[in-house]
Amino acid sequence: KSKVSVIETWLRKHRLLYVGATRHPFIHSIRDGSVDISSFKRWLEQDYIFVRAFVPFVATVLLKAWKESFDATDMDVILSGMASLNDEFAWFNKEASKWGVSLTNVAPQKANLDYCRFLESLMSSEVEYTVAITAFWAIETVYQDSFAHCLEDGSNTPEELRDTCQRWGNDGFGQYCRALQSIAEHHLEKASDDVRKRTEAAVLDVLEYEVAFWNMSQGDT
Ligand code: HMH
């Protein structure tokens, strides 16, 4: 008898919120070609700030993997994620110059500050590895699922936005998210009820912050 995984159970239970985070009107507007370019530029500027805070978060996940996990593949997968974040900065700079956007001196908006503050709370050494790695999986997966949707057959994504969608929507990134999911699931299976509950709450927080982040990009903060 095949057992439904912890993560699969949560995704079913919180389906509406997950769909809200991965099929947001902003994503629909990219997919159907009606996207407002000033919204896209705002998203680009704000996401650069987010990713600057995301790197130290991932560094703490790596540190926790080293201390708390006995499986060496955890560190390999997290390190590959850090390496792609390094490419991401080069990509942000290239993309910003393509759109005539400056990434220096951008003021973070409230939804972004709130999300970055949440990331910072997860960086604490008090936060268990299981909580942190699962939140990490959720953060990456929302972008993977959202942008992959913009590349599916039948999508009408403007040519000049395909590069952005490819960045997170490509198959390699999809495999990486599945690798993170299996690591998170492995730790969740062994976790106490208490840790599991706190992990579920962190995943819900991520989904809510992601919705607010898309809202901010569209200017409805
Ligand atoms: C807001 N969530 C946000 N930005 C990102 N770049 C990702 C997730 C994925 O790395």
| ipTM exceeding the 0.85 mark | yes
- Domain-embedded: residue 11: yes
For the chain, what is the domain count?
1
pLDDT of the residue at 108: 96
Residue 1 within a domain: no
The pick from 116, 143, 213 for probing ligand 1's pocket by mutation, whose C-beta has the most ligand atoms within 8 angstroms, reads 143
| Residue-range definition of the domain harbouring residue 162 | 6-217
Per-residue pLDDT at 97? 96
- Name the residues annotated as catalytic: 210
124-129 long-range contacts, CB within 8 A, separation 24+: 125/60, 128/64, 128/68, 128/191, 128/195, 128/198, 129/61, 129/64, 129/65, 129/67, 129/68, 129/69, 129/187
pLDDT at 70: 73
Look at residue 220 in the predicted model and tell me its pLDDT.
64
Query: Is 203 within a domain?
Result: yes
Is residue 200 situated within a structural domain? yes
Question: Does some domain include residue 202?
Answer: yes
Q: How many CB atoms lie within 10 A of CB 201?
A: 12
**Residue (of 139, 152, 131) closest to 194 by Cα position:** 131
**List of the chain residues with pLDDT < 70:** 1-2, 220-221
Q: Which residue owns the Cα nearest ligand 1 atom 10?
A: 140
Paired tokens of 169: 């929507």
- Interval between CA 169 and ligand 1 midpoint (Å): 12
Residue 210 included in any domain: yes
3-state SS assignment for residue 56: helix
Q: Is residue 67 part of a domain?
A: yes
Identify the pLDDT of residue 71. 84
| CATH classification of the domain holding 172 | 1.20.910.10
For ligand 1, say whether the CB of 51 is within 6 Å of any of its atoms.
Answer: yes
Strands (E), the chain: none
